[in-house]
Amino acid sequence: MLELTDVSSSYGRIEVLHGITLRVSPGKIVALIGSNGAGKTTLLRAVSGVQPISRGRITLEGQPLNRLQAHVRVQLGLAQVPEGRQIFNGLTVEDNLLLGGWTRARGESEAGLTAAYDMFPVLCERRHSLAGSLSGGQQQMLAIGRALMSNPRILLMDEPSMGLSPVLIDLVFEAITHLKKKGLTILLVEQNASLALSMADEAHVMETGRIVLRGTGAELAADPRVQELYLGFSK
């Protein structure tokens, strides 16, 4: 289990996370929704270890992560699919994937590649192409495939639907459902609240650095405040 307790984080002197407490139970999809600037990306970056925290604690299976660098957290089973994908445009698809598998032995990387190509056959077709030549949807698949190369237990996903057409959004979310069935735990940040709530076991609404509502995905989808602010229902 991944657990955040009273976590705060700042950029310079400006605090943007104010005492976040959040649990992600094994095998669940936990969604985090909220407006632009609420602090969702900062929270994921704090978990993956690229953003320092100023207060509170983050633990994985009871082990404190606070002092562990990002690469050590990857070895413990955390992998992030970053906002905006952040793939290496000048490298091939396959080399991007192999970079994601740096924590694993060579034979295991082969297995990882096979799994990524099974999941997204188009990546196999394009494996010798430069990643920069892929479409947005293919780049998102590559970002997911790359994160899976480290054989994580917990996947941190930041806005996987961003910039994708409805057809590709469906494809990416089918992949997420498939990963959950395989036992992966997923912390999912999404602006597309209706989609995120429809698949989340548990969900949290974040506003200006605080969690303001929590419940099951279904509970939040039925909440009038969520409907008005995040699902586009009018009163």
Ligand X SMILES: Nc1ncnc2c1ncn2[C@@H]1O[C@H](COP(=O)(O)OP(=O)(O)O)[C@@H](O)[C@H]1O
Shortest Cβ distance from residue 102 to ligand X (Å)? 25
The interface partner of residue 42, options being ligand X, Mg ion, none and the CB cut-off 5 to 8 Å by kind, is: ligand X
Shortest Cβ distance from residue 53 to ligand X (Å)? 13
Q: Are residues 8 and 17 in contact, defined by beta-carbon separation less than 8 angstroms?
A: yes
Shortest Cβ distance from residue 52 to ligand X (Å)? 12
Q: Are residues 56 and 11 in contact, defined by beta-carbon separation less than 8 angstroms?
A: no
Q: Strand pairing partners for 136?
A: none
Scanning residues 76 to 95, which ones bind Mg ion (CB under 5 A)?
83
Sorted by sequence, the CB contacts under 8 Å of residue 180 that are 6+ apart come out as 27, 28, 29, 186, 199
Q: What is the 3-state secondary structure (H, E, C) of 37-98?
A: CCCHHHHHHHHHCCCCCCEEEEEECCEECCCCCHHHHHHCCEEEECCCCCCCCCCEHHHHHH
Scanning residues 95 to 134, which ones bind ligand X (CB under 6 A)?
none
Indicate the residue type of 42. T
Residue count, binding to Mg ion (CB under 5 A): 3
Q: Which of 22, 39, 41, 74 binds Mg ion (CB under 5 A)?
A: 41
Burial 38-62 (b: 16+ CB within 10 A, else e): bbbbbbbbbbbbebebeebebebee
Scanning residues 61 to 100, which ones bind ligand X (CB under 6 A)?
none
CB-nearer residue toward ligand X: 16 or 130:
16
**For helices 136-148 and 106-119, what crossing angle results, to 10°?**
140
The binding track of 6-45 with respect to ligand X, each residue x by CB under 6 A or -, is -----x----x-----------------x-xxxxxxx---
3-state SS, residue 178: helix
Q: Which residue has the tokens 């698809």?
A: 93
The interface partner of residue 183, options being Mg ion, ligand X, none and the CB cut-off 5 to 8 Å by kind, is: none
The interface partner of residue 152, options being Mg ion, ligand X, none and the CB cut-off 5 to 8 Å by kind, is: none
Shortest Cβ distance from residue 4 to ligand X (Å)? 14
CB-nearer residue toward Mg ion: 16 or 130:
16
CB-nearer residue toward ligand X: 11 or 62:
11
Scanning residues 198 to 227, which ones bind ligand X (CB under 6 A)?
none
Residue 138 found at the interface with Mg ion (CB under 5 A)? no
**For helices 166-181 and 136-148, what crossing angle results, to 10°?**
10
Under the rule (CB under 5 A), what is the footprint of Mg ion?
A: 40-41, 83
Under the rule (CB under 6 A), what is the footprint of ligand X?
A: 11, 16, 34, 36-42
